[in-house]
Amino acid sequence: MKESQIVSLLTPVLAQFDLELEAVDLVPAGKRSLLRVVVDGDGPTGRGPLLDDIAEATKAISVALDETDVTGANPYTLEVSSRGVSRPLALPRHWRRNAGRLVQVSLTGGETFTGRIMKSTEESATLEVDQTTRTVPFAEVAKALIQVELNRQQADDEERDD
């Protein structure tokens, strides 16, 4: 199995579901291989795909892989998931889809801070950091990770408003 061939095969399949291919990882696992496919997309609210979107895409991915020889004769296990919170924010669309969330940012100059994403453009993100607004150009971001919040008051208030 060649990852580049898998990417070429899966990109148009995922496009049918308005999903983007984020990553393909092929891991040997004994006599089998584990094929991990990470997908992303705007979803109905612009904040990422729903579980149903991923489930439908998984079925189509499985069919596409079975209809080609890109996986070869070796058995494999297919695992399809969304980006989740553990993957770094690397592209402007990642920042946009996570507006309102808390993010830990490490800058190329060594500074690290945590702030809430207020808005983003193609070049930068505006964060609320210690009750002040700070615009961070993506070119200066070394790494950015979403922080899990178990009692996120803002999210609870938004749900009540709907």
Q: Domain count of the chain?
A: 2
Nearest 5 degrees, angle CA 37-CA 39-CA 43? 155
Are 23 and 59 in a shared domain? yes
Q: Return the pLDDT at 104.
A: 97
Q: What share of the chain has pLDDT > 70, as a percent?
A: 93
> Are the beta carbons of 57 and 65 closer than 8 angstroms?
no
pLDDT of residue 138 exceeding 70, the answer is yes
Whether 155 maps to a domain, the answer reads no
pLDDT of residue 1 exceeding 80, the answer is no
Q: What is the average per-residue pLDDT within 75-82?
A: 92
3 state SS of 108:
coil
Q: Return the pLDDT at 160.
A: 42
Q: Which of 126, 132, 137, 121 is nearest to 100 (CA)?
A: 126
Are 76 and 110 in a shared domain? no
Q: Which one-letter amino acid corresponds to residue 36? A: R
pLDDT of residue 156 exceeding 50, the answer is no
Q: What is the mean pLDDT of the chain?
A: 89
What is the rounded CA–CA span in Å between residue 8 and residue 85? 26
